[in-house]
Amino acid sequence: MLRRTFISIAMAVSVSGAALAEPAKVMVPAGAGGGYDTTTRLALGMLDKAGLFKDGAVFTNKPGAGGTLGLGEFIRTSKGQDNALMGMGVILLGSIMATKGSLPITDTTPVARLTFEYNGLAVPTTSPFKTVKDLTDALKANPGAVSFGGGSAGGVDHIIAGMIARSAGVAPARINYIAYGGGAEAVTQLAGGKIAVLVSGASELKGLADAGRVRIIAVTSPERLPEVEAPTLKEAGVDVAMGNWRGIVGAPGMSAAAQQNWVERLERMTAQPEWKAELAKSGLQNAFLGGSKFGAFIAEENARIRPILEELGVAK
């Protein structure tokens, strides 16, 4: 939820110089500086730096409707183009389900998942919730009295809150979830006791915890995160593991040869030490998954999150 900006080359992709052959046409279905934007620009910049794609990149930012406006434009205008790419992630899958009339992600060509970030649950330092059990007990007693804060409705943070409620035997539709447009506001509301639990990226919550502003009671990874001193939800008896991933898809009708070329380029790029170093700065995990395997992963994610979004009353 709390958006970050990759330092160094992520925001400056004046990829390659003089005689550009056929630059990549890259759609970013969000505003400049957000997660999709920085991840996609970082990837194309790294491809250029590593000599894996030297023909340049032209970026178009198209925010709106949770990314579905940019998705729709990409699908309508890039059919059959072998150098047309779009940044995306799990939040877009939720937005598609929540937006009536949105075109499906299956109209695009899966290229590669690139990054993964697990979330954490933070409470005020004075909170009576010392453990996840304290939280779930309170949810069972009075769901509406436990206010969750996080990113947009239908996003990863909201889905996690709903999954926690369902695991505790509480109907997800009964949770009190407050969506915030920015991390600073959410942290202020948490510190002021306006919300009981903040769901956000674990690495960012760690910084707040280290500064003594919040206390992390759990992380959403399958196993403990080495940099965060908190148990997993699964350890606490809540069978939930969920994170925020981002990747790249290609145009509808992209040729199989072009798809394979992009998969191979990105696989080699994600093995570069510079890429790994950039991700480490932001607490992200290197999570390459290419081509048809990425397509299968998207299908699994869709199948997993649709039921919870329907229970939350978000999916159309």
Where the chain has pLDDT below 50, the residues are: 1-20
Q: Which fold has domain 8-116+244-311?
A: D-Maltodextrin-Binding Protein; domain 2 (3.40.190)
CB atoms within 10 A of CB 271: 12
The CATH 3.40.190.150 domain(s) of the chain lie at 8-116+244-311
Helix H segments across the chain? 35-49, 68-77, 90-98, 132-141, 156-167, 183-191, 202-210, 256-270, 273-281, 291-311
What pLDDT digit, counting tens, does each position of 91-150 carry? 999 999 999 999 999 999 999 999 999 999 999 999 999 999 999 999 999 999 999 999
Fold of 117-219: D-Maltodextrin-Binding Protein; domain 2 (3.40.190)
**According to the model, what pLDDT value does residue 5 have?**
42
Q: Quote the pLDDT of residue 2.
A: 44
Question: What pLDDT, on the 0 to 100 scale, is given for residue 181?
Answer: 78
Determine the pLDDT at residue 55. Answer: 96
* DSSP sequence for 99-159: STTPPPGGGSEEEEEEEEEEEEEEEETT-S--SHHHHHHHHHH-GGGSEEEESSTTSHHHH
For CATH 3.40.190.10, list the domain ranges present in the chain.
117-219
- Please give the model's pTM, rounded to 2 decimal places: 0.89
Please report the pLDDT score of residue 316 as a whole number. 82
- First vs last C-alpha separation in the chain: 23
Q: Which residue has the tokens 């934007």?
A: 37
